[in-house]
Homo-oligomer: A and B are copies of this chain.
Amino acid sequence: MFVSTNYIYLCGVLNKRMKMQVLTLNNTGRMLHEVYRVFKKLSEGQQHMETYITPEQFGLLHAISTKAEEVIQKDMADMMGKDKSAILRLIDSLEEKELVKRVADSKDRRKNYLMVTKLGYKVIDQYVKIAEDMMMVIQEGLSQDDIDTFQRVVSHITAKAKEM
């Protein structure tokens, strides 16, 4: 399993040397790393998994499934901030596992709509179930206020970064 921790120490270092009390993304990458580790462990404990997919594959598959409108590869590349060829290869791998299908647009023959198959939804559900159970345990001890603030700060940082 390939796991990059790019973000972990990149973001982890922000502010280590700050003189004043400021926002620290110090442990955020490490947090995701730990959560990912647990998620992976729980996933592997499941014997009856339909299909094993990597986090990248899962992320893309899930992202496709949650879009209200039809999406094409280009949309997913934009959405996920990756090169179109990266998306293409992820789609290839998902199609090989029969989790998505490329369906040609009859009007614009350059486009392939991405459709999640029945099996695709099944696999998503399996992974989502694991994630839900895990998060239930993880959030024990946090108040609703904590959670709300956390989400708000995340949105704030994301928005600020996006305009930079």
**Pair A2/B5 contact, Cβ less than 8 Å:** no
Also in contact, A14 and B144, with CB within 8 A (given A23-B150, A25-B32): no
Q: In the complex this chain forms, how many copies of it are found?
A: 2
Partner of A128 from B6, B13, B60, B164 at Cβ < 8 Å: B13
Closest to A131 in B: B14
**Pair A31/B154 contact, Cβ less than 8 Å:** yes
Chain B residues near A32 (CB, 8 Å)?
7, 11, 25, 28-29, 32
**Pair A56/B6 contact, Cβ less than 8 Å:** yes
Report Cα–Cα, A107/B22, bound state, in Å. Answer: 42
Chain B residues near A29 (CB, 8 Å)?
7, 32
For residue A88, CB closer than 8 A to chain B, the reply is no
Chain B residues near A26 (CB, 8 Å)?
151, 154
Which of A94-102, A110-118, A132-140 lines the interface with chain B? A132-140
Report Cα–Cα, A9/B136, bound state, in Å. Answer: 18
Instruction: Report which residue of A63, A81, A134 has the largest number of chain B beta carbons within 10 angstroms of its beta carbon.
Output: A81
Q: Contact flags (1/0) for A129-164 with B, using CB distance below 8 Å?
A: 001101111111110111101111111111011101
Shortest CB–CB separation between residue A5 and chain B, in angstroms? 7
Report Cα–Cα, A28/B82, bound state, in Å. Answer: 17
Shortest CB–CB separation between residue A160 and chain B, in angstroms? 5
Q: Contact flags (1/0) for A22-48 with B, using CB distance below 8 Å?
A: 111111111111111111010000000
**Pair B62/A13 contact, Cβ less than 8 Å:** yes
**Pair B149/A149 contact, Cβ less than 8 Å:** yes
Q: Contact flags (1/0) for A4-20 with B, using CB distance below 8 Å?
A: 11111111111111100
